[in-house]
Structure 1
Amino acid sequence: MHILMFSDQHADSLGGVQVSIRLQKRFLEQAGHTVTVCAPRMHREHPGDSDYVDTPSVPITLDREYSMTLVGRRADRFIDEALATRPPVDLVHVQADFWGAMLGYRFAQRHGIRAVHTFHNHMEFGIERVVPYPKLAVRGLLWWQHRLLKPARSALAPSAWSYLNELSLRADAATAPSSHFASLLERKGAASAVEVILTGADDTVVEQVLREAGPRSTIRPMFVWMGRMSSEKRVLEYLDAIRLADVDADFRLYGAGLLLTKAQAFVRENGLGDRVHFAGKVPYPEALAAIASADALVQTSIGFETQGMTVFEAAALGTPSIVSDPNIAGELPDGIYWQPADGSVQALADALVRVAADVASGSKLVVEPQTSSTFRQSHQTERMIGVYERVLARRSAQPDSAV
Structure 2
Amino acid sequence: MHILMFSDQHADSLGGVQVSLRLQKRFLEQDGHTVTVCAPRMHRDHVGSPGYIDTPSVPITLDREYSMTLVGRRADRFLDAALATRPPVDIVHVQADYWGAMLGYRYAARHGIRAVHTFHNHMEFGLEQVVPVPAVAIRALLWWQHRVLKPARSVLAPSAWAYLNELALRADASTAPSGHFASLLERNGVAADVEVILTGADDSVVEQVLRDAVPHSGDRPLFVWMGRMSSEKRILEYLDAIRLSGVDAEFRLYGAGLLLKKAQSFVREHGLDGRVVFAGKVPYQEALTAIASADALVQTSIGFETQGMTVFEAAALGTPSIVSDPNIAGELPNGVYWQPADGSVPALAEAIRSVAADVASGSALVVEPQTSRAFRQSSQTARMIGVYERVLARR
TM exceeds 0.5? yes
Structure-2 residue corresponding to 1:83:
83
Contact 1:228 1:255 in 2 (8 A): yes
Contact 1:197 1:384 in 2 (8 A): yes
1:311 aligns to what SS in structure 2?
Answer: helix
Report deviation, 1:133: 1.0
2:48 aligns to what SS in structure 1?
Answer: coil
Contact 1:39 1:54 in 2 (8 A): yes
Is 1:355–2:355 an aligned residue pair?
A: yes
Report deviation, 1:317: 0.3
Structure-1 residue corresponding to 2:4:
4
Structure-1 residue corresponding to 2:23:
23
Contact 2:215 2:294 in 1 (8 A): no
Report deviation, 1:215: 3.2
Is 1:183–2:190 an aligned residue pair?
A: no
Report deviation, 1:263: 0.3
State the AA in 1 paired with 2:252: R
- With the length of structure 1 as denominator, give the TM-score of the two structures: 0.97
Structure-1 residue corresponding to 2:68:
68
Report deviation, 1:214: 2.2
Contact 2:40 2:67 in 1 (8 A): yes
Report deviation, 1:284: 0.3
CA deviation vs aligned residue, 1:271-318 (integer Å, no higher than 9, x gap)? 000000000000000000000000000000000000000001001100
Structure-2 residue corresponding to 1:267:
267
Contact 2:216 2:222 in 1 (8 A): no
Contact 2:138 2:160 in 1 (8 A): yes
Structure-2 residue corresponding to 1:401:
none
CA deviation vs aligned residue, 1:343-380 (integer Å, no higher than 9, x gap)? 00000000000000000111111001101111111100
1:307 aligns to what SS in structure 2?
Answer: coil
Mapping for residues 149-228 of structure 1, pairs under 5 Å: 149-217=149-217, 219-228=219-228
Structure-2 residue corresponding to 1:385:
385
State the AA in 2 paired with 1:284: Y
Structure-1 residue corresponding to 2:133:
133
1:225 aligns to what SS in structure 2?
Answer: strand
State the AA in 1 paired with 2:137: A
Structure-2 residue corresponding to 1:243:
243
Q: 1-side partners of 2:51 and 2:354: how far apart?
A: 47
2:394 aligns to what SS in structure 1?
Answer: helix
Is 1:257–2:257 an aligned residue pair?
A: yes
Contact 1:218 1:362 in 2 (8 A): no
Contact 2:186 2:192 in 1 (8 A): yes
Change (3 A) 1:115 1:8: same
1:53 aligns to what SS in structure 2?
Answer: strand
Q: 2-side partners of 1:354 and 1:137: how far apart?
A: 41
Q: 1-side partners of 2:137 and 2:358: how far apart?
A: 47
Structure 1, unaligned runs of 5 or more: 396-403
Q: 2-side partners of 1:215 and 1:25: how far apart?
A: 31
State the AA in 2 paired with 1:160: A
Q: Which runs of 4+ in 1 moved over 4 A?
A: none
1:374 aligns to what SS in structure 2?
Answer: helix
Contact 1:175 1:195 in 2 (8 A): yes
Contact 2:215 2:292 in 1 (8 A): no
1:42 aligns to what SS in structure 2?
Answer: coil
State the AA in 1 paired with 2:223: F
State the AA in 1 paired with 2:26: R
Report deviation, 1:218: 6.0
Structure-1 residue corresponding to 2:317:
317
Q: 2-side partners of 1:64 and 1:75: how far apart?
A: 21
Mapping for residues 119-130 of structure 1, pairs under 5 Å: 119-130=119-130
Is 1:233–2:198 an aligned residue pair?
A: no
Q: 2-side partners of 1:62 and 1:42: how far apart?
A: 13
Q: 2-side partners of 1:358 and 1:32: how far apart?
A: 47
State the AA in 2 paired with 1:240: D
Contact 2:60 2:68 in 1 (8 A): yes
- Please provide the CA RMSD for this pair: 0.6
Mapping for residues 362-401 of structure 1, pairs under 5 Å: 362-395=362-395
Structure-1 residue corresponding to 2:280:
280
State the AA in 2 paired with 1:282: V
Q: 1-side partners of 2:373 and 2:233: how far apart?
A: 28
Q: 2-side partners of 1:274 and 1:214: how far apart?
A: 23
State the AA in 2 paired with 1:124: E
Contact 2:115 2:170 in 1 (8 A): yes
Contact 1:71 1:99 in 2 (8 A): yes
Contact 2:118 2:174 in 1 (8 A): yes
